Amino acid sequence: MNWKHDPNLSAMSDNDHLRQVADSLTDAIHAAPDDARAWFLRGNAYLDRGAFDFAIGDYSRAIELVPDDAVAYNNRGIAHRSKGDAELAIADYAKAIALNPDYRDAYNNLGMALSDKGDYEGAIAQFTRAIELDPDYWYAYNNRGMALWATGRREDGIRDYEHAKRLATAAPR
């Protein structure tokens, strides 16, 4: 119970904070229903809370308002994948990549969704593209290592895991 009196800690839970953020953004959306950023940000709050259907709805509205928003497609894909719908996630990640061919996170997320479906070779190709775009992206090395391991290429997987570990623990530049 000592944490309650620690001035560096909050008694508010993350979920309480996310609920307040969503409520505040709901007010903003009521005031300006065509504010794509408010819809997007509320979608993020819902995504972080695990309210995937609400997140999908808000990202869809943001996309209606700004159809070329690659990040909204990517985030909606995350919500679809979180619900277990790899096909819809794959479609959203592909659209994000079509809108922004240099979007490393969308390639990584596409690789994760392909892995979910057991398409490890396709996943490896997507993780590799993410790494080509950002050679310091440790998360893509880790994910590619898992996919390589799943295909039986354990030595290659171990190399990726080791590289991911080095990158993840390196001092910030």
- Chain-wide mean pLDDT for the chain? 91
pLDDT score, position 16: 66
Taking the C-alpha atoms of residue 161 and residue 122, their distance in angstroms, rounded to an integer, is: 19
Domains in the chain, ordered, with CATH? 14-101 (1.25.40.10), 110-173 (1.25.40.10)
Distance CA 171, CA 118 (A): 35
**Has residue 2 got a pLDDT over 50?**
no
Q: pLDDT at residue 1 above 60?
A: no
- pTM, to two decimals: 0.87
* Range with the poorest average pLDDT among 3-12, 144-153, 155-164: 3-12
What percent of the chain lies above the pLDDT cut of 90?
Answer: 79
Going by C-alpha positions, the residue among 109, 85, 96 that lies closest to residue 62 is 96
Model confidence over 19-51: pLDDT tens digits? 776 777 778 888 998 999 999 999 999 999 999
> What would the two tokens of residue 127 be?
């993780």
User: What are the pLDDT digits (tens) for 95-139?
Assistant: 999 999 999 999 999 999 999 999 999 999 999 999 999 999 999
- Number of Cβ within a 10 Å radius of residue 144: 29
Distance, in Å, from the CA atom of 104 to the CA atom of 132, rounded to the nearest integer, reads 9
